A and B are shown apart, each in its own frame.
Chain A
Amino acid sequence: MADIESRVRDIIVTELGVEPSKVTPEASFVEDLGADSLDTVELVMAFEEEFGIEIPDEDAEKMETVGDAIKYLTEKEGA
Chain B
Amino acid sequence: MEVDGDEGSGWDQLTGGSWHGLGLTDPIKSVEDKWLLLPAFLKVKGLVKQHIDSFNFFCNHDIKNIVKANNKVTSDVDPRFWLKYTDINVGMPDRNDGSSVERKVTPHECRLRDITYSAPISVTIHYTRGKNIVQRTVNIGRLPIMLRSSKCYLTGRTHAELARMTECPLDPGGYFVVKGTEKVILVQEQLSKNRIIVELDTVKNIVQASCTSSTHGGLKSKTYVATKKGRIYLRHNCVHEDIPIVIALKAMGIQSDKEILLLTAGTTEAYKAAFAANLEDAAKLGVFTRQQALEYIGSRVKVNRKVMGPRRPAWEEALEALATIVLAHVPVKGLDLRSKAIFVATMTRRVLMAMEDEKMVDDRDYVGNKRLELAGQLLALLFEDLFKTYNANLKTAIDKVLKKQSRTSEFDAFNTMQFQGDHLTSGFVRAISTGNWSLKRFKMERAGVTHVLSRLSFISALGMMTRISSQFEKTRKVSGPRALQPSQWGMLCPSDTPEGEACGLVKNLALMTHITTDVEEPPIVQLAFMLGVEDISLATGTEIYGPHTFVVNVNGTIIGLTRYPARFVAQFRRLRRARRISEFVSVFINHHHKAVHIASDGGRICRPMIIVENGRPRVTPEHIALLKKGTVVFDDFLRKGLVEYLDVNEENDAYIALYEADIVPATTHLEIEPFTLLGAVAGLIPYPHHNQSPRNTYQCAMGKQAIGAIGYNQLNRIDTLLYLSVYPQQPMVKTKTIELVGYDKLPAGQNATVAVMSYSGYDIEDALILNKASLDRGYGRCQVLRKNATLIRKYPNGTFDRLADAPVDENTGQIAKKYDIIQADGLAGVGERVDPGDVYINKQTPTNSTDNSFTGQAAAVPYRNTPMSYKSPVAGNIDKVLISDTENDQTLIKVLIRQTRRPELGDKFSSRHGQKGVCGLIVNQEDMPFNDQGINPDTIMNPHGFPSRMTVGKMIELLAGKAGVLSGKLQYGTAFGGSKVEDMSRILVENGFSYAGKDMLTSGITGEPLEAYVYFGPIYYQKLKHMVMDKMHARARGPRATLTRQPTEGRSREGGLRLGEMERDCLIGYGATQLLLERLMISSDKFEVNACSKCGLMGYNGWCTYCKSSKQMAQLTIPYAAKLLFQELMAMNVVPRLILDDA
A binds B: no
- Interface set of A (CB-CB < 8 Å, partner B): none
